[in-house]
Amino acid sequence: MILYGDSQSGNCYKIKLLFSLLNIEHQWVHVDILNGDSHTPAFLQKNPTGKIPLLELSDDQYLSESNAILNYLAAGSELYPQDTFQQALIQQWQFFEQYSHEPYIAVARFINKYQGMPDERKAEFYNKQDGGHKALHIMEQQLQTAPFLTGEQMTTADISLYGYTHVADEGGFDLKKYPAIKQWLLKIEEAPDYLAMED
């Protein structure tokens, strides 16, 4: 299988981390989004949304959306348990990630780290802070009751939220106020075959 992605994108890194944790053989094809590589006619034919990561299983079988890819690749492993309610809880946290976490924390990080905080996006950067802290606060509450987001065991929900949470400081979010989140980050980093994000 081929994964089209950019290791510096948190959404792509999630997949890279899972590949490592589960020792899944794959080919990684680098797509430079800042250079427009995900909007060439050839790429749009593979994924009309022009987004990465994209998983290619065969010439006519593709899967997009980082969290859908995670759950697909982890199916059958303990990172995505068989139990229907557990799977639903995992998805709950992943939809939370895409709607209430990523649009704040990942976007603030992008403006700060990749765009170098241009004047015309400063207001947007500051507007993202409240929503990001709200998301972190909800994670903190949950992680004070259990070691992982869905309970006693690490799942793809944790990998999803780890992606941008562990680099939230690059978006201006100080994690000092969130001790349970910091503990949780360490626990994930202790997993066998953990792989750090490229800088």
Contact residues for a second copy, defined by CB under 8 A: 48-49, 57, 61, 63-69, 71-72, 75-76, 84-85, 87-89, 91-92, 94-96, 98-100, 102-103, 138, 141-142
Phi/psi at 182 (5° precision): -65, -40
Query: How far is it, in rounded angstroms, from Cα 80 to Cα 72?
Result: 9
The distance of closest approach from Cβ of residue 199 to a second copy in the complex, given in angstroms and rounded to an integer, is 26
Residue with tokens 């800042």: 34
Contact 53, 64 (CB under 8 A): yes
Task: List C-alpha distances in Å: 2 to 10, 71, 142, 156.
Answer: 18, 16, 35, 20
123 Rama sector, left if φ>0, alpha if ψ -120 to 50, beta otherwise: alpha
The distance of closest approach from Cβ of residue 62 to a second copy in the complex, given in angstroms and rounded to an integer, is 9
Residue with tokens 């690490």: 154
The distance of closest approach from Cβ of residue 12 to a second copy in the complex, given in angstroms and rounded to an integer, is 15
Which of 81, 175, 186, 193 is closest to 137 using CA atoms? 175
137 vs 189, beta carbon nearer a second copy: 137
38 vs 94, beta carbon nearer a second copy: 94
What contacts 113, CB < 8 A, 6 or more positions away? 170, 171
Which of 63, 60, 61, 80 is closest to 5 using CA atoms? 63
The distance of closest approach from Cβ of residue 32 to a second copy in the complex, given in angstroms and rounded to an integer, is 21
6 vs 97, beta carbon nearer a second copy: 97
40 vs 169, beta carbon nearer a second copy: 40
157 vs 185, beta carbon nearer a second copy: 157
The distance of closest approach from Cβ of residue 178 to a second copy in the complex, given in angstroms and rounded to an integer, is 14
The distance of closest approach from Cβ of residue 126 to a second copy in the complex, given in angstroms and rounded to an integer, is 17
45 vs 190, beta carbon nearer a second copy: 45
